[in-house]
Structure 1
Amino acid sequence: MTLEVSNLVGGYSQVPVLNDVSFDVKNGELVGLIGLNGAGKSTTINHIIGLLTPFKGTIKINGTTLNEDVKAYKQQIAYIPEAPIVYKELTLKEHLEMTMLAYNLNQEDAWARAHRLLKKFRLDNKLDWFPDNFSKGMRQKVMIVCAFLTNAKLFIIDEPFLGLDPLAVNDLLNLISDRKKQGASILMSTHVLDTAQRYCDRFVLLHNGKVRTEGTLEQLRTLFPNAGDSLNDIYLSLAREGESE
């Protein structure tokens, strides 16, 4: 079990946004985190990566909490944010070097992997460029390359398809598939439900800071037989039901 979120209550300042959220992501599994804007997806992710401290509950990665061992906890995570975060003063090469140092990677192996990733995302001729001047899609590709450069056990990917061209989307999905086969776990937040339906193993549907339901697509279809067959149908049905409560 890579990620275990148990009875998480959290939010910003003293205002709870999440209320008793529990779910897990197993080894070699892609779990889709689904919900309306404001449902608590980003707040959940910020707690997992350590930007927010839970009011109550626990978050473990391979049995380790952030409080028990900060370095061991964080080195198991690779995070791709919705809004790319790059440093104005650093070139693309320096971003990669910083990632290698942060994750204590073997330089020779890391650069071999980096060159393959750079070529895949058509960034191999831009090592001396400054990503701060790139388009959003290109900056997103920098985030993807930096994340998949690591040997992370848990990949947290927040709205990865926004701004990416179709070829890059396909390349990212192939990378996710490859890392799953190697035993890594992926938690992906997305509104692109048709893609989520095709690639995710399970789904966690958040609504108003609570887990409304979770399971495979087949389990969701069984639980909500009148909602429709697609993830989009089920999601819309639950969202409307939640709004009327």
Structure 2
Amino acid sequence: MLHVDKLNGGYIGKQVLHDVTFEVKKGELVGLIGLNGAGKSTTIKHILGLLEPISGSVTVDGETVQSSEKNYRKKISYIPETPILYDTLTLREHLTLMGKAYEIPERDLEERTGRLAKNMRMEKQLDWFPSVFSKGMRQKAMILCALVTKTPLLIVDEPFVGLDPLAIRQLLQLFDEYKEESAILMSTHILETAERHCDRFVFLHQGVVIATGTAGELREKYALSPDATLDDIYVEAIDVEERAR
């Protein structure tokens, strides 16, 4: 569903990514793991089409920004780390706006809105304005806006910030449903949760993919014990990479 191929990119005068290559298949939740400054946000911005690569390519469900920007963008939904909402629109109006932007049939939008709001315990807040939302409610609102689209690719950046344990559990259940027809790429620092719920991992360090695979495959790659945590695996991966340099 998502193919990142030899992506070199970054910002004017500063290259951040170096030959980044990985994929996320339909039915997968893949964790993008890295320290601060590893290049996770830059990678996400390139996938979203907000940055132009120096070289390499990003393909989503067979489409690229170059082949059709409109079609490409309609294949992606995004949950940012910091909620961005319109204070003059209710949550329901936000979801209606998403429906129009993604050309979702009105009946489908209504059904999805009701189901998702119920799952995230936001039914009573559908006609509220974001100015009265708590931090957790604002994050839930962004989650609803992304999930209602049912795009082929969902990109999630630190989705658990501000959510209580019950909301995190509900969100992970929704991810399980969403990925049945789509692919999910999730950037997070909460490795314990990622280890339990991600199908595979992409380790990014200093703009380079240093390892990919399941937790079991990565334990085997670095000759770690079966009870090694994802934290243990990632620290070992960094140590091996830096010793090699």
Structure 2: 5+ residue stretches without partners: none
Structure 2 Cα separation of the partners of residues 243 and 81 of structure 1: 30
* Distance in 1 between residues matched to 2:116 and 2:224, nearest whole Å: 44
- Kindly provide the CA deviation profile for residues 8-35 of structure 1, in whole angstroms up to 9, marking residues without a partner as x: 1111113101111000001111110000
Say whether the 8 Å CA contact 1:91–1:128 is kept in structure 2.
yes
Superposition RMSD on alpha carbons, in Å? 1.4
Q: For each residue in 1:193-230, what CA deviation from the matched residue of structure 2 results, as whole angstroms up to 9, or x when unmatched? A: 11111111110000000001111111101110147622
CA distance in 1, matches of 2:143, 2:73: 17
Distance of 2:242 and 2:90 partners within structure 1: 46
| Unaligned stretches of 5+ residues in structure 1 | none
Mapping 1:213-232, distance limit 5 Å: 213-226=211-224, 229-232=228-231
Deviation larger for 113-122 or 205-214: 113-122
Show the counterpart of 2:206: 208
Contact 1:224 1:234 in 2 (8 A): yes
CA contact (8 A) 2:9 2:17 kept: yes
Number of corresponding residues: 243
1:6 aligns with 2:11: no
1:95 is matched with which residue? 94
What residue number does 1:114 align with? 113
2:34 counterpart residue number: 35
Q: CA deviation at 1:88?
A: 2.1
In the superposition, relative to structure 1, how do residues 46 and 132 fare at CA in structure 2: closer, same or farther (>3 Å)? Answer: farther
Distance 1:138 1:240 in 2: 39
Decide whether the 8 Å contact of 2:202 with 2:213 is kept in 1: yes
TM-score (norm 2): 0.95
Q: How far does residue 128 in structure 1 lie from its aligned partner after superposition? A: 2.4
Partner Cα separation in structure 1 for residue 160 and residue 242 of structure 2? 27
SS at match of 1:6: strand
Normalised by the size of structure 1, how large is the TM-score? 0.95
Counterpart in 2 of 1:125? 124
**Offset at residue 87 of structure 1 (A):** 1.3
Kindly indicate whether the alpha-carbon contact (under 8 Å) linking 1:36 and 1:239 is maintained by their aligned counterparts in 2. no
